Structure 1
Amino acid sequence: MDTLTVRSHPGTRAVPSWAILAVACLGQFMVILDVSIVNVALPSIRHDLDFSETGLQWVVNSYTIVFAGFLLLGGRAADLFGQRRLFLLGLGLFTGASLVGGFAQSQGMLIAARAAQGLGGAVLSPATLTIITTTFREPAVRARALGAWSAVAGAGGAAGALAGGILTDLISWRWILFVNVPIGAVGLIVARLLLTETRNEDAPRRMDFVGAVLVTCGLTAFVWGLVDTDTHGWGSVSALAPILVGVVLLAVFMFYESRVKAPLVPLRLFRSRSVSAANAAMFCISVAIFPSWYFLSLYVQNSLGYSPLVAGLVFLPQTFTIIVGAQVGSRVIARFGVRALVAAGGLISSVGLFWLGQIPVTGSYIHNLMLPSILTALGLGVAVTPITLAATTGVARSDAGLASGVVNTTRQVGGSIGLAALVTLAANHTRSLRNEGQAAASALVAGYGRALEAAAVLALLGALAALALPPLGRRGGPADVADRTDSGTAGGASTGERPASVAPGTVSRPG
């Protein structure tokens, strides 16, 4: 097994690469876990802190929006200041914010703590991927490591519901946050012992804080407006004004990025067909799949009467399916290629989501929940590794950390916008049915079903977006060129720059 020399301690000793991989995966698992761990606990949080139906989603979105807004800055910071330093900083902030959130006595305190968690995650997550790409240099080994990282990232979303249910039912919803404290403390100690400091000496020496603030404020305003349409309707000033402000801020962000010397998002990245198509597919799939866990968590508790513990167990098959799907996807890329796997994953998830959309008021667990949920999770698992791989292919080496930050940002932005939009769609449909005289229980479930059917369409759009990907990863195709050259002469990216080392054994040249 490969080893990594740790230079940050007196004397020189070798650290097994599996230990480095375990540390990186632990950090990523904590970050992704906290996107969904609150879902099962939402009814309990609403009761204790007196949230409204629409206000409750900010417990989720305050985390994901800040995470998305600052993730790109975190990716650049990992290149600039060093992966070890950023890993420790992000994990420390994440752990501290979890402790504060567990003690929250008001809505504002909890939402602020969740936002601080998102900031910590935005620093931590890019560092985990950078650690993997600098530790595992042999293409086949790096592909397996990336597959493990992707499996952990994907499984964290589903496992969050399981952990949230167990902790909420057996102890208190506050322990969905407290649980991060001992894990984070152990992670900090182990990371200090094992990780060595490396940084990208080619990275720009400037940080684009203005860009991070613009994109975060723009996303927050846009999502705020979407949420407010549930209360005041699409034609109201209170809803349209924040949406318009959000659109303007995001437009200013794009303009600013095209002018600043060291942009948060170099627009040249998207000249690569692989990067653009992969991020488009990631956005559509995230918009569709991640909000589905929110609806299923509410459905099994509000409609089927499951306890938080049982509700968490409902998601166990999804957890294992995502892990299996991610491992399968990472191992068959050489045979089928990235494009086929992403398209197949999106299509499988679309079928599963449409099936979920047919949920009745009193449904059967096997037929109405387990089987379609497994299909949805399988599609995500199959697609996540190829998407990550394609999104980090064909960029300059100096932008390796940033490219990973872009695709992770796309995932979180998709989840945030999808949650706000689909919750609003569900609430509006439920209200319309109630106004027509339909019973409250059936109207509520019909709202969930309408949102899940819309999610199925969005997942299908992700599969269609995958068709724009170049033929990456398939053995004998252009992907193999990157493995045989490090100079870019035989496989230059579409930008004309050197291929990024983050792409494990795949393409450096669009097909």
Structure 2
Amino acid sequence: MKLAVGVLCGAQFMLIVDVVVLNVALPSIQQGLAIAEGQLALAGVLYTLTFGLLLIAGGRAGDVYGRLRVFQIGLGVFTLASALAAIAQTPWQLFAARALQGVGAAMVSPNTLALVTAMFEEGEKRNRVLGFWGATGSVGAISGQLIGGVLTEFLGWRSIFLINIPIGVAGMLIAARVLTESRGGSPIRAAVRALVGNKAVRTGNIVLALIAGTTAATLFFSTLYLQGTLDYSPMAVGFGFAPVTVVVLLVSPVAGRLVGKLGARNLMLCGALLSAAGMAYLALIDSNGNYFADVLPGLLAVAAGNGLAFAPTMITATTGVAADDQGLASGVLNTSQELGTAAGMAVITGIATAVGAGIAGYQVGYLVAAGLVALAAVVALRTPGTVGRPALTEPAERARIDM
């Protein structure tokens, strides 16, 4: 069982890393493939675009045709696309490979979560496992820059894609041995109505979207500040985020265990408020700042807040969902995370840019992010108090969620 969970978490980690691993390698890729300045962003956008747009379809396909089958096919597509990206000789070849990676990721990601929820009934064990699953996504988003910096520095930019090949092949082989097929697939209209009518599902998705968007913006402004103002190299920036990764890894599993005692609502509330405090602290930066005094404390608070909030958010968004519809629910949840990230980045950076360039913009961006993640705390208050607690195993308690 541990190996099965490890395979699923490892696959999710790889997908999320590939969202951000490209950032520090872009200058090398641009030089190597002679990509025009205006086209450079396509290397990242095409992956996240196909990934985000196809998540719900990928989750529903798993419900209907088998979650393990769709997971393995998706992992094969992702691995093949990674190989094509690694050997790309022209910009369009890289762009096409990145789009294909997104297609494979959209098949894999929702079905990793659906397979996890299919293995464990609602309760303490599922809460604990979802804590680890949530941690892999958070850690992947933060550590991707460090991984990209190290690989690009020592092995060249093609290595950020080549490393996916042995991981993907190993994942497919191990998955075939340790995972069992599950499927569902109630009529789509009934499934959608059930999800929309589930208060916990609605709340969990909104909270996740807000946390994902504000965290992405916070990491973005922090990267610009460290590189542009403090003159950190890309690799140094990656190492600067390493303590954040450690905090998320330590806190998320603990949060998964605490859900049964404290309830998902209380942990989401505490996590969102802690993240808001960290972002507000970061808004105090100035041109004479110092990483250890002005940046690290705020980032650690954001990391601890995310660690507390992510597991209960995942639990909330999958609570009360019928076994037949777990793939669809997982697709919706992953879509909320991806679209929340995109929308949050667009709104927050747009406001920051309108205010001014440099530190003035960063400060406003951090404050806007703090306000939005505080809004997530308000939304979290609407979560039924029984979510995540053992009492939910009782039918009478479960019925209260769908209100």
Give TM-score, length-normalised by structure 2.
0.91
Quick check: 1:373 aligned with 2:299? yes
Q: Which residue of 2 aligns with 1:414?
A: 340
Q: How big is the shift at 1:492?
A: 4.7
Q: Which has the larger radius of gyration?
A: 1
The answer as to 2:169 corresponding to 1:179 is: no
**CA shift in 2, pair 1:298/1:357, >3 Å:** same
Within a 5 Å distance, the mapping from 1:235-274 to structure 2 comes to 262=188, 266-274=192-200
2:104 maps to 1:194: no
Distance change (3 Å), C-alpha of 1:110 and 1:446: farther
Q: Which residue of 2 aligns with 1:458?
A: 372
Q: Which residue of 1 aligns with 2:227?
A: 301
State whether residues 168 and 308 of structure 1, in contact with CA within 8 Å, keep that contact through their aligned partners in structure 2. no
Contact 2:67 2:327 (C-alpha < 8 Å) held by counterparts:
no
* Distance of aligned partners of 1:460 and 1:47 in 2 relative to their CA distance in 1, 3 Å threshold: farther
Map of 1:18 onto structure 2: 2
Structure 1 residues 22-421: aligned runs within 5 Å? 22-45=6-29, 49-50=34-35, 52=37, 56-137=40-121, 139-200=123-184, 202-204=185-187, 262=188, 266-421=192-347
1:113–1:359 distance in 2 versus 1, CA, 3 Å: farther
Aligned residue identity for 2:73 = L
Counterparts of 1:367 and 1:110, CA distance in 2: 40
| Cα contact 2:152–2:160 (8 A) shared by 1 | yes
* Cα deviation, residue 138, structure 1: 7.6
Kindly provide the CA deviation profile for residues 310-366 of structure 1, in whole angstroms up to 9, marking residues without a partner as x.
121111111111112211211111222111111111111111122223333343111
Percent identical residues: 37
CA distance in 2, matches of 1:121, 1:463: 30
Change (3 A) 1:116 1:37: same
Report the alpha carbon displacement of residue 413 of structure 1 after superposing the two structures with TM: 0.5
- Call closer, same or farther: CA 1:454–1:428 in 2, change over 3 Å: same
Work out the CA distance in 1 between the residues paired with 2:99 and 2:342. Answer: 13
Query: Distance in 2 between the 1:418 and 1:108 partners?
Result: 28
CA contact under 8 A between 2:124 and 2:390: conserved in structure 1? no
Report which structure shows greater RCO (CA 8 Å, sep ≥6). 2
Question: Is the alpha carbon distance of 1:305 and 1:400 closer, same or farther for their aligned partners in structure 2, counting shifts above 3 Å?
Answer: same
Question: Is 1:483 aligned with 2:397?
Answer: no
Q: What's the CA shift for 1:278?
A: 1.4
- If the length of structure 1 is used for normalisation, what is the TM-score? 0.73
Question: Could you tell me which amino acid in structure 1 is paired with residue 175 of structure 2?
Answer: A
Residue 417 of structure 1, CA deviation: 1.6
Alignment: residue pair count: 402
Question: Shift of residue 287 of structure 1?
Answer: 1.4
Counterpart residue identity of residue 310, structure 2: V
Give the Å deviation of 1:158.
Answer: 1.1
Partners of 1:288 and 1:169 lie apart in 2 by: 29
Q: 2: distance between equivalents of 1:378 and 1:101?
A: 35
Q: CA deviation at 1:131?
A: 1.9
* TM superposition shift of 1:160: 0.9
RMSD of the TM alignment (CA)?
2.4
Q: Structure 2: give runs of 5+ residues left out of the alignment.
A: none
Structure with bigger helix share is 2
Q: Report matched runs for 1:407-446 at 5 Å.
A: 407-430=333-356, 443-446=357-360
For 1:51 and 1:462, locate their aligned partners in 2 and report how far apart those are by CA, in whole Å.
39
